[in-house]
Amino acid sequence: MTAFRELSQHILDIVENGVSAGAKLIILTIQESIETDTLQITIKDDGKGMDKEMLQAVTDPWVTTRTTRKVGLGIPFFKQAAEMCGGSFDIQSEVGKGTQVVAIFQRSHIDRPPLGDLEGTLLCLIVGYPTIDLVYQHKVGENDYVLDTREIRQVLGDDVPLSDPEILAFLRSTLEEGEQSLGD
Amino acid sequence: MKSLEELQKIKERALQRRKLSGEGTRARIIVAMGTCGIAAGARDTMAAILKTLEEKKITDVTVTQTGCMGLCEYEPIVQVKVGEEDLITYGHIDVNRVPELIEKHLIGGEPMEAWIIQPSS
């Protein structure tokens, strides 16, 4: 069993890894296809990346022999969730370049967690990491929604915090409209 | 996406308001968002904080998030710093505690003593 009820909690957790790794840009893509019955989540960061040994440790903390470095359980949780739902999991990392995580779920699988509170999660990421850019893309079949925080930050500059109530309301309704435009 | 022109107008209004009231950032809130925090509900806590600021039209507080603080048993953990006062670390701040925390500490200026994590010896 994993600790999270929603896929958006996994997403938040993996993005947090990227932020800890010094990423400046996070590219998050969710692709849903009814045709192939898949839901694919891709999270790519430009953080400091990991060497082979570290990658092994974060993916499979139970079999690693090295215990001197502290590793979390977020990646194994995500991997397990995908594999339990007839899907697959892949992580690629290169030192100095960044890390990419891809989790694929069988979309109709009875145990597949819902995406959950995506808007709330994205709002937390956008407001909570004011110096990190996020490109978010959600595709459902032919429909496509993209939010690029670089455009938003370019307008806002550094003078107004993203947690300003009017800006929060704007971001919230932007995200809600975007998600609604995807239909179901 | 809603228009960026609209965002530009919102920004100008916000700047104007800040200029009039002479306000800067009066307080900071930090939410711990490590794996342990998220599992304990930190995402919902942060979403509730943002919603409350939005509804109460609180303009002089910034909210950011950080990773695991190494106090996993106290998650969700929220830190509050008002003005020049010391940073206060609260434990077990679930969604239900958010309105009172904001009302009493952020607005009223009185920390919620019972929720503060006491450093163990």
Q: Whole-angstrom Cα distance, residue A162 to residue A125?
A: 11
CB contact under 8 A, B54 and A152: no
How far, in Å, are A39, B5, B101, B104, B105 from residue B113 at the CA level?
45, 44, 10, 11, 10
**Chain B residues with CB-CB distance to A16 below 8 A:** 33-35, 38, 65, 67
Rg of chain A (C-alpha set): 17
Q: Is the ipTM of this complex over 0.95?
A: no
Within 10 angstroms of residue B8's Cβ, the number of other Cβ atoms is: 12
Q: Is A147 helix (H, G, I), strand (E, B) or coil?
A: strand
Q: Which residues of A touch B13 (CB under 8 A)?
A: 166
Nearest beta carbon to residue A74 from set B7, B35, B55: B35
Neighbours of B64 (CB within 10 A): 20
Nearest-Cα distance to chain B for A162, in Å, is 8
A120 vs B18: CB contact, 8 Å cut-off?
no
Question: Is B47–A13 a contact, with Cβ atoms under 8 angstroms apart?
Answer: no
SS3 (DSSP) at A26: strand
Ordered by where they begin, the domains of chain B are 4-15+24-115 (3.40.30.10)
Q: Do A177 and B2 touch (CB under 8 A)?
A: yes
Q: One digit per residue, pLDDT tens: chain A, 184 residues?
A: 457 999 999 999 999 999 999 999 999 999 999 999 999 999 999 999 999 988 988 888 765 555 555 667 889 999 999 999 999 999 999 999 999 999 999 999 999 999 999 999 999 999 999 889 999 999 999 999 999 999 998 998 887 888 888 999 999 999 999 999 998 6
* Subunit contact A160:B58, Cβ cutoff 8 A: no
Q: Cα-atom radius of gyration of chain B, to the nearest Å?
A: 16
CB-closest option in A20, A121, A170 to B7: A170
